[in-house]
Amino acid sequence: MRSCTSCALHKGRTNAVPGSGSAGTGILIIGEGPGFNEDQQGLPFVGRSGKLLDELLAAVPIAREDVFVTNVVKCRPPDNRDPLPEEVVACRPYLNRQMELLDPRVIVTLGRHSMLRFYPEGKISKDHGKILEWEGRILFPLYHPAAGLRNPAIKKILQEDVLRLPEALRESSRLSASALAPTSNSITEIHEITEPLKPEQPAQQTAEALESNVAEVAEAQLSEPLLKNEKQEEEQGDRQLGMF
Ligand code: URA
């Protein structure tokens, strides 16, 4: 990966970011692509999104060293833009090989791009926090932490969703115990999200409504001036965009 020239992203990289962590717990966490800090250090999720990721895992509790963290693309997209389809395709063999080597029981995807790699028909606003089966493994899609940093409602959803990780692990044990042979590439939902809407929530505050709300807010924020230190961090390139 560090010497790869398969797509144009190699031209702008300081370091490729293959990933870090261990295969110990059988959890593989997949983000979108490196930001400024990750590109500088050659390590995934070391900026503000990484700090939130650590906090989310600590609530489970799981230590960062006990999971493997990587990205769909291993080199930083310029200006933190979304990875292009051809860049995702060029990087695919690396992620495939990582999955072969790590053999994860649970794949946690962060954000839309990462989820779509496994579940092209998925919709992050509908499928976040669901425990799904993908080719004999558990797929557990979550919002991207950068979206949580931008929007407190998303952060709250992330904090709630991540608490289902132990359940996802239990389901993965059940899957291997029953030795369910993967029959197709299709996605099966293992659990419906049964939580009813809280009574104080307005009726229109469904996931769909929240998503469009969030997307609008996020778009509005893009053209709004940021607070001084927020601006500095944004300029330093923590990935903020495109994770809805
Ligand atoms: N956002 C990502 O998607 N990946 C990183 O490594 C850092 C921020």
pLDDT in tens, 152-173: 999 999 999 999 999 999 999 9
Ligand 1, atom nearest to 145 Cα: 1
The Cα 108–Cα 43 span in angstroms is 18
**For ligand 1, atom 7: residue with the closest CA:** 45
- Identify the bridge partners of residue 86 per DSSP, sorted by sequence position: none
Ligand 1, atom nearest to 31 Cα: 3
Q: Helix 207-223 vs helix 152-162: angle between axes, to the nearest 10 degrees?
A: 130
- Identify the bridge partners of residue 69 per DSSP, sorted by sequence position: 20, 29
Q: What are the strands, taking DSSP E only, across the chain? A: 20-21, 27-31, 68-71, 106-110, 132-134, 137-142, 187-189
Ligand 1, atom nearest to 32 Cα: 3
The Cα 121–Cα 154 span in angstroms is 21
For residue 189, the number of C-alpha atoms closer than 13 Å in the C-beta half-sphere is 11
What residues does each domain of the chain span?
11-190+200-235
- Is the beta carbon of 137 within 6 A of some atom in ligand 1? no
Ligand 1, atom nearest to 111 Cα: 3
Burial label for 111, CB within 10 Å (0-12, 13-18, 19+), is buried
- Is the beta carbon of 148 within 6 A of some atom in ligand 1? no
Model pTM score? 0.81
Render pLDDT for 64-110 as a digit per residue (tens, 0 to 9). Answer: 999 999 999 999 999 989 999 999 999 999 999 999 999 999 999 99
Q: Ligand 1 pocket check: which of 49, 56, 73, 150 to mutate, most ligand atoms within 8 Å of Cβ?
A: 49
Above 50 in pLDDT, residue 123?
Answer: yes
Taking domain 11-190+200-235, whether its CATH number is 3.40.470.10 is answered by yes
